[in-house]
Amino acid sequence: MKPLLTDLIGGLFPVAVSDELLAKCQKSEALAKQFIPSTEELNAQDYELVDPIGDYTHSPLPGLIHRYPDRVLLLPRGNCPSYCRFCFRKSSVGKSSNLSKSQIADAIDYIKSNSQIRELILSGGEPLTLSIPELRNLIKEVMAIEHIDWVRIHTRLPITSPELARNFDFSVFENLPKPLYVALHCNHADEIDDDFVTFTNQLRRCGVTLLSQTVLLKSINDSTELLETLFRKLVRHGVRPYYLHHLDRALGTSHFRVSLEKGREIFSSLRGRLSGIALPTYILDLPGGEGKIPAESEWLTESNGNYTAQSPFSDTKRVTYIN
Ligand code: SF4
């Protein structure tokens, strides 16, 4: 069913661009297209969803998402310093409150009581805008849980707010008892500037392992050459490309959408050009929380323009995917 205008207005995504990022947008079209809003956001499609990857249906507690048995996602902050116009959490990011101390304590209790959980992922709204004492306590408490093997943080801070990234207190990541992985959301080589490199160098000095995630975006990075340049530049600065995401079907994002066919073509030509260390997995998050699958493999078959995906949770379950 086509989303109603009221869904879309209710779902209108806030606009925020930090001062330094705005100055960078004036020099880079790739950055401007990601952060400066367009009226095309009002053009919702039938197949787009308020909750494209089923966060709401897999949330046992506020801000906690438990989709896979071995890991949970915690969203402690409700906002970001600047908003990416294609954000897949645009129905909640910028509109929800930060988690309270007692809600974070409840989330930690949930993790403690579920020994299948091996990994905590902190994700957006921007988790690195937690105060340093809050972040320190959260990491300390979670790493003290015996069945937690490592913690992962997803951030876009050096891009969305270079000023906050410069003033970040990296001591919070020193001498941790368990591995910490930081996945930097980065979509174009223009984002890897001095601010980004200074930030990643500081993380590396603390012993943090760096990964990246990139969203495949029309007219921004949808070519073999642009992605090759991006992935090479990331590896040169110690960041291992982890995921290339096919765009999720959030409301009003069709102007960013690249077809699966084109995404697969680009990805297959990257295989011939990049060493394995620079090649991420091209990934598709199935709608409704059905899980992540590789977008370029036998997991997703095409027939007359219709796609059928194999569920990662069951050998026999099939999920229809509309690109
Ligand atoms: S940084 Fe992440 S959570 Fe924040 S607006 Fe961008 S995509 Fe959404």
Rounded to an integer, the average pLDDT of 151-174 is 98
Whether 12 shows a pLDDT value over 80: the answer reads no
- The fraction of the chain above a pLDDT of 70, given in percent, is 97
- Does the beta carbon of 156 lie inside 6 Å of ligand 1? yes
Instruction: Say if CB 186 and CB 230 are below 8 A apart.
Output: yes
Is residue 248 part of the annotated active site? The answer reads yes
For 193-223, the DSSP string reads SHHHHHHHHHHHHTT-EEEEEEE--TTTT-S
Tokens 């998050």 belong to 285
The atom of ligand 1 lying closest to the CA of 79 is 4
Model confidence pLDDT, tens digit, residues 219-273: 999 999 999 999 999 999 999 999 999 999 999 999 999 999 999 999 999 999 9
- Does the beta carbon of 158 lie inside 6 Å of ligand 1? no
Give dist(CA 219, CA 258) in Å, integer: 9
Single out the residue of 164, 14, 30 nearest to residue 83, CA to CA.
14
Q: What is the pLDDT of residue 249?
A: 93
Q: What is the pLDDT of residue 321?
A: 86
- Could you give the angle at which helices 224-236 and 260-271 cross, rounded to 10 degrees? 50
Give dist(CA 12, CA 2) in Å, integer: 16
Is residue 71 part of the annotated active site? The answer reads yes
Q: What is the pLDDT of residue 9?
A: 46
Q: What is the pLDDT of residue 11?
A: 57
171: its two tokens: 């001591």
- Does the beta carbon of 93 lie inside 6 Å of ligand 1? yes
Model confidence pLDDT, tens digit, residues 190-203: 999 999 999 999 99
Whether 10 shows a pLDDT value over 70: the answer reads no
> What is the average pLDDT score of the chain?
93
Round to the nearest angstrom and report the end-to-end CA distance of the chain.
16
Q: Which of 24, 80, 190, 195 is catalytic?
A: 80
Residues 59, 65, 66, 70: what is their CA dihedral angle, to the nearest 10 degrees?
-170
Q: What is the pLDDT of residue 322?
A: 78
Q: Which of 95, 112, 118, 292 is catalytic?
A: 292
Rounded to an integer, the average pLDDT of 19-43 is 96
pTM: 0.94
Whether 150 shows a pLDDT value over 60: the answer reads yes
Q: What is the pLDDT of residue 256?
A: 98
- Does the beta carbon of 215 lie inside 6 Å of ligand 1? no
Nearest CA owner, ligand 1 atom 1:
156
Model confidence pLDDT, tens digit, residues 63-93: 999 999 999 999 999 999 999 999 999 988 9
Which domains occur in the chain, in start order?
A: 5-321 (3.20.20.70)
Q: Is 234 helix (H, G, I), strand (E, B) or coil?
A: helix
Nearest CA owner, ligand 1 atom 2:
124
Long-range contacts at 257-264 (CB < 8 A, ≥ 24 apart): 257/218, 257/323, 258/216, 258/217, 258/218, 258/222, 259/323, 260/284, 260/295, 260/300, 260/302, 260/307, 260/323, 261/302, 261/323, 262/222, 263/216, 263/222, 263/295, 263/296, 264/295, 264/296
Q: What is the pLDDT of residue 290?
A: 87
- Does the beta carbon of 84 lie inside 6 Å of ligand 1? yes
